[in-house]
Structure 1
Amino acid sequence: MPHYNVLFLCTGNSARSIMAEAIMNRKGRGNFTAFSAGSHPAGTVRPEAIRQLEKAGLDATGARSKSWDEFSTPDSPHLSFVFTVCDNAANEVCPIWPGQPMTAHWGIPDPATVQGTSNEIDRAFSQAFQALDRRISLFLSLPLGTLDGFAIQKEIDKIGKQ
């Protein structure tokens, strides 16, 4: 199986894209290398996102909020797929990505905007994590080696609507 590089984008790169990166790196079993970035990085990763990752047994070591500029240079990893996971990043003008990746929008409600008790906030982060996990699992089940580019694009767009 070929190797694929996947970039998850969000505006702040503090929660959803960080969780998606960790999920893909675990579930991709070496066939996929995931990265995450933000158009306007928050500078810190939300502690609730770290707790979700740890609760799921995923490694949060090295998780950091970073700019998408790190992935738009000629020496950046050549990307196979770029997924936006928040509405703001989906509407922004993106850089030119090395590798001319396929792109799709997989919008997930922002758990960082939820206000309430700590249980309500944790539940919002858990729901975002589960939605990302479900979409990544669907993506990983695609027979990428046997589908043409148009079929892959159709499938990754469909995953974003689920």
Structure 2
Amino acid sequence: MRILILCTGNRCRSQMAHGILKYLCPSIEVHSAGVRPATEVHPLAIQVMSEIGIDISQHYPKSVDQYLNQTWNYVITVCGGARENCPVFNGTVANRLHIGFDDPDAFTGSPEELLTEFRRVRDEIYKELQKFAKILES
């Protein structure tokens, strides 16, 4: 089973989803990428993931271009930008799925408010991917 998770920058949501899905389904091959990749994974994404025991500190943003000729069981978009700008895959994509989440990086506020927003989005991603993992297991 091969799953690709797409976001615009591959900086927050797709990185958190990548870590969570790999944690929930360790035998599945999971990758994440962006249609316009950022230069680094957001430090708060790394922090809030470590709070739940998932280490994404070695992750880095990648371009979707490197995955276009590969075969995927699922390509999952986690933001509207990636959904709207999802490129054409030359390889086989068995299933396309959109599970959208707010962009915690777009939120403005105090450091504590930002951290709260990242935790909220992380928890939403976890909840939705738990449901998805149950579908994969059945």
* TM-score, normalization by structure 2: 0.93
**What is the deviation of 1:10?**
0.5
Deviates more, 1:127-136 or 1:57-66: 57-66
Name 1:44's counterpart in structure 2: 40
Name 1:131's counterpart in structure 2: 124
RMSD: 1.5
Equivalent positions of 1:10-49 (< 5 A) are 10-30=7-27, 32-49=28-45
* Deviation beyond 4 Å, 4+ runs, structure 1: none
Please say if residues 20 and 54 of structure 2, whose CA atoms lie closer than 8 Å, have aligned partners that are also in contact: yes
**What is the deviation of 1:140?**
1.0
**What is the deviation of 1:144?**
5.7
**What is the deviation of 1:62?**
2.4
Name 1:122's counterpart in structure 2: 115
Number of residue pairs matched by the alignment:
138
Equivalent positions of 1:68-107 (< 5 A) are 68-73=64-69, 76=70, 78-96=71-89, 98-107=91-100
Higher relative contact order (CA 8 A, sep 6+): 2
* TM-score, normalization by structure 1: 0.80
For the structure 1 residues 93 and 85, does the alpha-carbon distance in structure 2 shift closer, same or farther, using more than 3 Å as the test?
Answer: closer
Q: For structure 2, list consecutive stretches of 5 or more residues without a partner in the other structure.
A: none
Q: Percent of pairs identical after alignment?
A: 28
1:29-50: per-residue Cα shift (whole Å, max 9, x none)? 31x1211000000121100000
- Amino acid of the residue matched to residue 27 of structure 1? L
For the structure 1 residues 93 and 18, does the alpha-carbon distance in structure 2 shift closer, same or farther, using more than 3 Å as the test?
Answer: closer
Secondary structure in 1 matching 2:135: coil
